[in-house]
C-alpha cells in the first residue's frame, strides 16, 4: 500500500471551530426567540439540531511539526495527514497507529523520570493514546547481544540505529508493529554480520566473501561492519516504510567467560612483541660494538672472547634488571 497525503488547509480546523461557535450562538438565539412566539415545533427542531451539530467537532486534529496521522474511514485507508496545523477532517475517520503503545529504548519513546498523567494513563491501559506518528530522526538502542564471531568466540556487541518513518502507510499496514519489527530485524542483522568477522585480526579469515584472507575484524573495521549492518537492516525494513540513516557500535567486548583468557593472550602477545623488539635492538648494538672495537683496534679478541662478550652484552641489554658491574684487576687470560 502506497502513502496518500491528504491535501488540507492547516487552518481548516480553526475555521470549523469558529463556525461551530457561531452556529450554536445562532441556535441559542433562535430557540429563545421562537420560545417567545410560542412556536414549539420550531423550538423542538432547533433543539434536536443542536444535539447533533457538534459531530463535525470530532474531526478536529492538531499536528506538531514532523508529525503525521494515518486515517481510515470505515476500514478503508483514507490518507495521511502531514504537516503542522489545526485540521478538520471527516468526523468518522479513525486514527491508526499499532505501535502507539510500544515503548523501546529510543528517543521520544522513553517516559520522563517524573511521568506525566498521559504517560501514566497509557501505562495503566486507561486514557487516550496518542496515535500520531513521528517523522523525526529517532535512535534505537537495542540491548547488548552475545554473538559468536567467525572463530566461535562469544562476543558481546551493542548498536545504535538512527532511523525514521518514510512511508506512513507501509509502516501502519504492511507490518503488525513497525517498532517491534525494526528491533527484531536489528537483532537479526547484527547476528548475521558479526558471525562473518573475527573480534580481532586473524590469519586465514575471509570476511568479504572473495575467497581470499583479509584483515577485516570487528575491532579494526568498525566502519565496514556497521555499513554492512545498515544495508542488511535497510533491506529488511524497506517493506515497512522505514529508512535507516546510520548505525553505530556502542559496545564491543569479549563475553565475560572468555574475557580473562583473551586478556592474558593479548598480554602474552604484547610481551612477545616487546621482547622481539628488545632482542633486535640488542643484536644491533652488539654488532655495532664489535665493529667499533675492531676499527679502533682497542683490544684484540679471539673467537672465544668475542662469544663471551656477545653473551654478556646480550644478558645486560635484554635483562629486566640493571646489570651489576664487576671490576677485574687481573689479566683477561
Q: Are residues 176 and 212 in the same domain?
A: yes
Same domain, residue pair 80 and 152: no
Q: Are 281 and 317 in contact (CB under 8 A)?
A: yes
> Which of 133, 138, 132 lies closest to 182, judged by CA?
138
Residue 26 and residue 92 in one domain? yes
Task: Give strand ranges (E) for 83-168.
Answer: 85-88, 93-95, 133-134, 138-141, 145-148, 154-165
Distance CA 197, CA 192 (A): 10
Of the residues 200, 226, 254, which one is the last residue of a structural domain?
Answer: 254
Q: Per-residue pLDDT tens for 234-279? A: 999 999 999 999 999 999 888 888 766 667 766 776 777 777 887 8
Q: Is residue 114 part of a domain?
A: no
Whether residue 242 is found in the same domain as residue 273: no
Q: Would you state the pLDDT for residue 43? A: 82
pLDDT at residue 60 tops 50: yes
**Residue written as cell 511521568?**
115
CB 254 within 8 A of CB 156: yes
- 242 and 138 within one domain: yes
Q: Is residue 209 part of a domain?
A: yes
* For residue 323, pLDDT beyond 90: no
d(CA 77, CA 232): 30
* The pLDDT value given to residue 211: 78
Distance, in Å, from the CA atom of 83 to the CA atom of 69, rounded to the nearest integer, reads 9
Residue 101 belongs to a domain: no
At 30, is the pLDDT very low, low, confident or very high (cuts 50, 70, 90)?
confident
Asked if residue 243 and residue 147 are part of one domain, the reply reads yes
How many separate domains does the chain show?
Answer: 3
User: Are 273 and 303 within one domain?
Assistant: yes
Q: Are 157 and 61 members of one domain?
A: no
Domain assignment of residue 103, yes or no: no
| Domain boundary pick from 254, 278, 307 | 254
Measured from the Cβ of residue 104, the count of other Cβ atoms closer than 10 Å reads 16
User: Taking 80 as the threshold, does the pLDDT of residue 19 lie above it?
Assistant: yes
The domain that holds 145 is classified in CATH as 3.30.479.30
- 290 with 178, same domain: the answer is no
239 and 167 in one domain?
yes
Q: Which pTM value belongs to this model?
A: 0.71
**Model confidence pLDDT, tens digit, residues 153-208:** 888 999 999 999 999 999 999 999 999 999 999 999 999 999 898 888 888 788 88
Structural domain includes residue 119: no
- Give pLDDT, residue 332: 53
In a domain? residue 106: no
Instruction: Write down the pLDDT at residue 117.
Output: 43
209: containing domain: 134-254
Range with the poorest average pLDDT among 142-151, 202-211, 277-286, 297-306? 297-306
Where among 73, 96, 119 does a domain terminate? Answer: 96
The answer to whether residue 248 sits within a structural domain is: yes
Task: Determine whether 202 is exposed, middle or buried from the number of CB atoms within 10 Å of its CB (0-12, 13-18, 19+).
Answer: middle
Both 16 and 44 in one domain: the answer is yes
Instruction: Average the pLDDT over 145-156 and give the result.
Output: 88
Residue 23 located in a structural domain: yes
The answer on 177 and 146 residing in a single domain is yes
Amino acid at each position: 500500500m502506497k502513502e496518500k497525503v491528504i491535501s488540507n488547509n492547516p487552518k481548516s480546523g480553526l475555521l470549523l471551530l469558529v463556525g461551530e461557535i457561531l452556529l450554536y450562538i445562532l441556535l441559542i438565539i433562535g430557540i429563545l426567540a421562537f420560545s417567545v412566539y410560542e412556536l414549539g415545533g420550531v423550538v423542538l427542531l432547533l433543539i434536536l439540531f443542536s444535539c447533533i451539530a457538534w459531530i463535525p467537532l470530532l474531526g478536529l486534529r492538531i499536528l506538531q511539526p514532523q508529525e503525521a496521522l494515518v486515517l481510515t474511514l470505515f476500514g478503508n485507508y483514507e490518507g495521511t495527514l502531514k504537516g503542522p496545523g489545526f485540521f478538520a477532517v471527516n468526523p468518522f475517520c479513525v486514527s491508526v497507529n499499532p505501535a502507539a503503545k510500544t515503548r523501546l529504548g529510543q528517543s521520544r519513546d522513553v517516559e520522563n523520570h517524573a511521568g506525566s498523567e498521559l504517560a501514566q494513563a497509557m501505562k495503566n491501559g486507561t486514557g487516550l493514546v496518542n496515535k500520531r506518528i513521528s517523522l523525526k530522526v529517532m535512535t534505537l538502542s537495542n540491548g547488548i547481544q552475545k554473538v559468536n564471531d567467525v572463530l566461535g568466540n562469544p562476543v558481546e556487541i551493542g548498536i545504535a540505529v538512527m532511523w525514521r518513518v518514510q512511508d506512513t502507510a507501509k509502516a501502519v499496514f504492511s507490518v503488525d508493529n513497525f517498532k517491534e519489527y525494526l528491533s527484531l530485524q536489528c537483532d537479526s542483522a547484527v547476528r548475521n554480520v558479526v558471525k562473518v568477522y573475527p573480534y580481532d585480526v586473524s590469519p586465514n579469515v575471509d570476511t568479504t566473501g572473495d575467497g581470499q584472507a583479509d584483515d577485516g575484524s570487528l575491532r579494526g573495521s568498525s566502519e565496514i561492519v556497521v555499513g554492512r549492518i545498515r544495508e542488511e537492516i535497510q533491506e529488511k525494513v524497506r517493506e515497512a516504510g522505514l529508512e535507516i540513516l546510520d548505525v553505530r557500535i556502542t559496545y564491543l567486548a569479549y563475553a565475560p567467560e572468555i574475557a580473562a583468557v583473551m586478556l592474558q593472550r593479548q598480554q602474552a602477545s604484547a610481551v612477545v612483541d616487546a621482547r622481539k623488539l628488545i632482542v633486535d635492538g640488542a643484536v644491533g648494538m652488539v654488532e655495532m660494538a664489535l665493529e667499533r672495537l675492531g676499527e679502533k683496534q682497542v683490544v684484540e679478541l679471539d673467537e672465544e672472547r668475542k662469544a663471551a662478550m656477545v653473551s654478556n652484552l646480550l644478558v645486560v641489554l635484554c635483562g629486566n634488571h640493571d646489570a651489576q658491574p664487576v671490576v677485574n684487576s687481573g689479566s683477561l687470560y
